[in-house]
Amino acid sequence: MKQGFFIITTVCVALSLWLSRYIPAGAFEEILSPLLFTTTVTVAFFGSFLVFKHADGLRIRRVWGWTLLIWGLIDFIYLAGDLFARSQVMDMSAQHITTIELLLGNLLGWLLLMYPTEVVRPGWLTFRTGLWQVLPIYVLVGLDYLIPLSLRPLIALYPFALIPLLITHIRTYKNWCEENFSTLDAFDAQWIVHYLWMVALVGVNYIFICVTHAPARGFTQLWFTIAMFAYSTEQILYRKDPWEMVRGREKAGEPAPEAITEPALSPENSEFRQKLDRWMEEEKPYVNPAFQLSDLGAVLPMNRTYLSHFIKAEYGCTFYQFVNRYRVAEAKRLKLEQPDLKMDEIAARCGFSSRTVFSNVFTREEGVSPREWFKKCNPA
């Protein structure tokens, strides 16, 4: 069930917010708060250690490692102040969150957006771009001190202003993946959507903290942050970096891509298309789930960028769609020739990474599910 992750996380957060209303202030301040902060620091430090240890030279993992490390250090300072200096981590008697808590909450929220930004736009997030993103927070906090009008709602909502920028980046990332790979389930944008949903829930709960004076208003934020760190670290350690995969192919001998924005129209295009069609039909390279755009260089004298434009211009689709059309056609041929073949075997023999991917792609291409199509072809 595709929506299960979103439903389960939302229900858990909603139930926690409701239950937190019945936690006595004393129990939270004396027991739950130190315990949860200690767990957060432990998970953040241990997670950063694992990520740095297994970074394998990937900048994307180092970004997540630094995110965990900085968050862990800030929470450690909070915890040390609460345990040794007896300064309250949260002022439970306050009607609203303090300005310092508001500022730190924004900075931590922005910190959580570093990882998805690096995923979809490697190298885009530099010190300069990061400074420009954080600067409005300081400006709003300064104005909140200088003018009588409270700007705290704007400050609390500021991290949400960065989400539209990320959505634009995600669309670009999905297009780039479809232009370069024939199988997307190992590094598609769905994981980033899950991650952003967790960040959004953290943000919604943060707003709840800002507007309420419930005694245990930080309870949900703390345990959900722990769960998010643990889940995200596990996912990040076992996910491939498509950008690094492409760069690895280029280092292995593929020419560096040129800045081509429009493929040249020439008689050679027709010849190249015929050559590619013949190669795809005779060699069937698409049955390999790891088949990539750069593999076309074995038959066409083009670099990766030009290959992508060539596929778009000649076939009117991305490389991902181009390859999966052949895979669907092969699946139909196999089923007609061998009606007893199971769906799992057909999917594997046609280059699909799983039966689920096969079903989704087939339905998108044919307008009906594989089972329905096969039933029409073999009514008996």
Rounded distance between C-alpha atoms, residue 107 and residue 99, angstroms: 12
More confident residue, 200 or 3: 200
Is pTM beyond 0.75? Reply is no
Long-range contacts of 4-11 (CB under 8 A, 24+ apart): 5/194, 5/197, 6/194, 6/197, 9/197, 9/198, 9/201, 10/201
Query: At residue 188, does pLDDT exceed 90?
Result: no
Interval 294-305: pLDDT, tens: 888 888 888 878
The domain locations on the chain are 4-246, 253-377
Contact (Cβ atoms closer than 8 angstroms) between residue 206 and residue 109: yes
Q: Which fold has domain 253-377?
A: Arc Repressor Mutant, subunit A (1.10.10)
Nearest-5° angle of CA 336, CA 338, CA 342? Answer: 105
Interval 247-288: pLDDT, tens: 655 544 444 334 333 444 454 567 888 899 999 999 999 999
Rounded distance between C-alpha atoms, residue 237 and residue 51, angstroms: 7
